[in-house]
């Protein structure tokens, strides 16, 4: 008897985990692969978590989360963007929210569109649910100017839509490219989505880490938008597993029902701490990462093609030789831990570098990459 479900044939182990396995024997590598901030949770946020635990706030919360945090999320978006998300629920991280939103909406055969390069979970979760992932190429070249590199454009979205297209996922700032989209660019995407009655999932986990333009949101541009955001990237609460979702009432209610039978609720004490995390001043962290971004970009552009990212803490240069699957193992053999672009893309020409690392690690690691480039 075969015990594994057929759906397991639709996915495989994360390519990032494969890279980590390859690097397991390295001693003190120059680690430029990390997908989390290199700063710790602020002390004031830790204190609230500790106090909540000590005061006995350790039981289940209501499935949709504590009211104080849901109201805090709405107030945060109102203050920052001038829009108020509707029907806020608290999720177990943005990954939990992404899974619930797709589980609630994807039927077998439904097409789910997103930019290529993409966050690694998108195609795998869609396939797991019987949907059809439809990446939209955004690499510069083939008519895409460098100024639009890695950005989802309205004309490319329009060209990709078919009668089976149901959902669009937008991720800006982006993992893995760090590319951002301003309000005008997002508005053009919203107009195409509205024209074709697409449901839009906007993954805004990196919205607080933007370096050049004012942060923008798809919330309020279209009435069929599901917002996903959380606390892993802005305040470093990666292991605390707290995120949030908001959007059309029918869909959020369905996600809440599904959460009852899956995650149950986000961690109670972490929800309390997240209320305080919404108030954290990010300006010093943003300034520091802008400087690290500039450092990585200036070093990389000297020996390879690279687009300057406007947000997050990733940069996505072209791999020397044009094949990241070949170049990245060589880098790992030389004690530099990076991720091949094919983990995040149908293409294999690039590689992802994280600059969420000490300056010296960035300098030394990229200097080794330069040497390998020849």
Q: What is the per-residue pLDDT across 157-215, written as a single tens digit (0 to 9) for each?
A: 999 999 999 999 999 999 999 999 999 999 999 999 999 999 999 999 999 999 999 99
Mean pLDDT of 34-58: 93
Q: What is the rounded CA–CA span in Å between residue 42 and residue 273?
A: 10
Mean pLDDT of 347-370: 97
Quote the percentage of the chain above a pLDDT of 70.
97
Q: What is the rounded CA–CA span in Å between residue 104 and residue 28?
A: 43
Q: Is 353 left (phi over 0), alpha (psi -120 to 50) or beta?
A: beta
Token pair, residue 123, equals 């195609």
Given pLDDT bands bounded at 50, 70 and 90, which one contains residue 23?
A: low
Element holding 220 (H helix, E strand): none
pLDDT (tens digit per residue) in 73-97: 999 999 999 999 999 999 999 999 9
Domains belonging to the chain, first-starting first, are 6-40+282-373 (3.90.1150.10), 45-277 (3.40.640.10)
Q: What is the rounded CA–CA span in Å between residue 22 and residue 326?
A: 13
Q: What is the rounded CA–CA span in Å between residue 86 and residue 70?
A: 10
* Closest by Cα among 341, 342, 334 to 373: 334
The answer to whether residue 227 scores a pLDDT higher than 90 is yes
The rounded Cα 362 to chain-centroid distance in angstroms is 22
Given a contact cutoff of 8 angstroms between Cβ atoms, the answer to whether 250 and 225 are in contact is: no
Q: Which residue has tokens 């200097």? A: 367
Q: What is the rounded CA–CA span in Å between residue 79 and residue 75?
A: 6
* Closest by Cα among 240, 201, 2, 42 to 119: 201
pLDDT value at residue 151 = 96
DSSP letter (8 states) at residue 147: G
The answer to whether residue 277 scores a pLDDT higher than 90 is yes
Token pair, residue 100, equals 């619930």
Q: What is the rounded CA–CA span in Å between residue 289 and residue 311?
A: 9
* Closest by Cα among 297, 371, 370, 365 to 29: 365
Q: Residues near 68 by Cβ (< 8 Å), separated by ≥ 6? A: 272, 275
Q: What is the CA radius of gyration of the chain?
A: 20
* Closest by Cα among 274, 272, 264, 278 to 64: 264
In terms of DSSP bridges, do strands 225-230 and 243-246 run parallel, antiparallel, or are they unpaired? antiparallel
Q: How many CA atoms lie within 13 A of 248 on its CB side?
A: 15
Q: Residues near 369 by Cβ (< 8 Å), separated by ≥ 6? A: 300, 303, 320, 331, 336, 338
Q: To the nearest whole number, what is the mean pLDDT of the chain?
A: 94
């Amino acid at each position: 008897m075969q015990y594994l479900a057929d759906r397991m044939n639709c996915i495989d182990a994360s390519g990032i985990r494969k890279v980590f396995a390859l690097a397991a024997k390295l001693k003190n590598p120059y680690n430029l692969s990390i997908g989390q901030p290199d700063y710790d949770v602020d002390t004031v946020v830790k204190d609230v978590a500790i106090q909540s635990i000590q005061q006995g706030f350790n039981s289940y919360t209501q499935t949709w989360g504590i009211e104080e945090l849901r109201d805090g999320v709405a107030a945060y978006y109102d203050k920052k963007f001038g829009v108020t998300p509707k029907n806020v629920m608290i999720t177990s991280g943005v990954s939990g929210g992404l899974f619930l939103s797709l589980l609630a909406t994807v039927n077998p055969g439904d097409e789910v569109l997103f930019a290529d390069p993409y966050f690694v979970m998108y195609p795998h979760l869609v396939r797991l649910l019987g949907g059809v992932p439809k990446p939209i190429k955004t690499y510069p070249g083939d008519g895409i100017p460098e100024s639009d590199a890695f950005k989802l454009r309205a004309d490319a979205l329009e060209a990709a839509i078919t009668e089976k297209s149901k959902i669009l996922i937008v991720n800006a700032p982006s993992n893995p490219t760090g590319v951002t989209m301003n309000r005008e660019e997002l508005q053009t995407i919203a107009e195409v989505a509205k024209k074709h009655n697409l449901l839009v999932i906007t993954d805004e986990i990196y919205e607080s880490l933007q370096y050049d333009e004012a942060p923008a949101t798809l919330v309020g541009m279209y009435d069929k938008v599901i917002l996903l955001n959380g606390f892993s990237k802005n305040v470093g609460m990666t292991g605390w597993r707290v995120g949030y979702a908001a959007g059309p009432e029918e869909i959020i209610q369905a996600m809440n029902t599904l959460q009852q039978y899956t995650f149950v609720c986000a961690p109670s004490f972490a929800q309390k701490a997240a209320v305080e995390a919404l108030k954290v001043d990010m300006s010093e962290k943003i300034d520091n990462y802008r400087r690290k971004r500039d450092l990585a970009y200036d070093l990389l552009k000297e020996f390879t093609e690279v687009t300057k990212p406007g947000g997050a803490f990733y940069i996505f240069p072209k791999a020397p030789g044009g094949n990241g699957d070949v170049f990245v193992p060589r880098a790992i053999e030389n004690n530099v831990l990076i991720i091949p672009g094919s983990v995040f893309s149908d293409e294999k020409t690039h590689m992802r570098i994280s600059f969420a690392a000490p300056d010296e690690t960035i300098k030394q690691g990229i200097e080794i990459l330069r040497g390998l480039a020849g």
